[in-house]
Structures are given as C-alpha cells and as structure tokens.
Structure 1
Amino acid sequence: MCENCLKKCSFVSVSLRGELICPKAYDLTPCSALLSCPLLEPDGRPKPSDFSAALIALKDGHAVARHGWNGKGMYLKMQTPDEHSKMGLPYIYISTVEGKFVPWVASQTDLFAEDWYMKGAA
C-alpha cells in the first residue's frame, strides 16, 4: 500500500492469507493501490474473502454475506445501539430468507470460510 492509502484508512490489517486489508478500499478512491483490497475485484465487483475482511466491512456499516449460504438474500449487518435500544453493546444480526432480523453468532465454518463478500458492491 502507498502512503496515500495509509493516510485515508482508519485501520489496516492482514487477512489469514497475508493480504493487506484496507477498509476504505471499497470506496474506490483514485489511489490505484486501494484497488487491491480483498473485498473487491479491480472492476468493483464483490470479491470472495475471509471473515476478517467481512468484519471490517461490517464495522464500517456495510452488509456482508457468504456465497456458501443456501438461503437467497441472506446477509449480516452490525447494529450499534443508541439511547433507545434495549441492547447495550454492538452486535451482528442476520437477515433471514424471510427478511426477519435475528442476532447472529458465527459458526466455525463461517469463521474459516473464504467466500465472504460485501453486499451491494457495484
């Protein structure tokens, strides 16, 4: 990554495959080094990645999903409680096939899967 990327990113981490993860990369800023983000293909389409990249996207307000899930339209989002919430800490929820929202806990399979992608990317 170039210094320009590091200045724009609030957090840079390394995936299980050793790739640098830039959470702002999916903003598709002009810096060409940002396009190597494991969350997106160079043309902006979602790119399968691991859960560490998915978690960064969740923390940044994006929805994520797995290609390996059987249910159509299912996705995860993170909820940060406000003063009107019954929950006191942030949590991840899933949108089910029926469009219902329920709290979600990752399975071992989900944590180690490498088919995570960001929903709604180009």
Structure 2
Amino acid sequence: MNFGHAIEAVKNGKRAARAGWNGKKMFVYLMPGSAPLATEVRELNAVETINSVRADLFQDGDTDTAVRMPSFCLRAADGSNVVGWLASQTDMAAEDWELV
C-alpha cells in the first residue's frame, strides 16, 4: 500500500511497516494525544477536531493542562521506541507499506 493508506490505517489504530525496511519487527504506531475533557467534547459533538486533528485521536487529559498532540512513533528493531517519528522522502514515496 502507499504512504497515505498506511498513515490512515495508523490513525485508525493499526500498525504499519515498510516491507523494505532492513530492521525486522519495526513498525509505526500512533501515540494518542491528550486534551482536557476530550471525551466530553466528543460526546457533545461540540467539535470534531482539536487543533485541526480528529478528536478521537485524543484521550482525556487533566483539567487545566496543555493539549498534547498525537504523535507518530516508531518501534525500532532493537525494541526501543522513537517518539515523534518522521517519514523520510523515500518512506513517503514507497509503495511497500503493509499492516503488521
């Protein structure tokens, strides 16, 4: 699949990886954001987005705390997690994305 489909799948709770990555067991996943009263906002349908990002990608944060935006993360081959993973130009152009 292409990058766009992979990112949409990750936003919907899936994990995605490139078949061409050398490190096996690597994948991209989404760490949810947090926002005060995020659940209440969604239930009331007061807004569908928070800072232009789908409200369902947020968990409840503590009252009077800053909004933490969702972030794409990478599970590296050594088992570590890279928070705030950014796709390379090759990753974005690749057609070998797959769900894991």
**TM-score bracket for the superposition, by shorter chain length:** 0.5 to 0.7
Alignment equivalent of 1:112, drawn from 78, 93, 99 = 93
RMSD in angstroms over aligned alpha carbons? Answer: 1.9
Unaligned 5+ segments in structure 2 are 35-60
Deviation at 1:79, TM superposition (A): 1.0
Partner of 1:91: 71
Unaligned 5+ segments in structure 1 are 1-48
- For 1:78, the aligned partner's letter is L
- For 1:117, the aligned partner's letter is E
Q: What secondary structure does 2:92 align onto?
A: helix
Q: Specify which structure has the higher proportion of strand.
A: 2
Deviation at 1:87, TM superposition (A): 7.4
Alignment equivalent of 1:76, drawn from 20, 28, 32 = 28
- For 1:90, the aligned partner's letter is P
List, as ranges, runs of 4+ consecutive aligned residues in structure 1 with deviation greater than 6 Å. Answer: none
TM-score by length of 1: 0.54
Aligned length: 71
Name the % identity.
37
Q: What secondary structure does 2:17 align onto?
A: strand
Superposition pairs of residues 25-104 of structure 1, within 5 angstroms:
49-82=1-34, 83=61, 88-103=68-83, 104=85
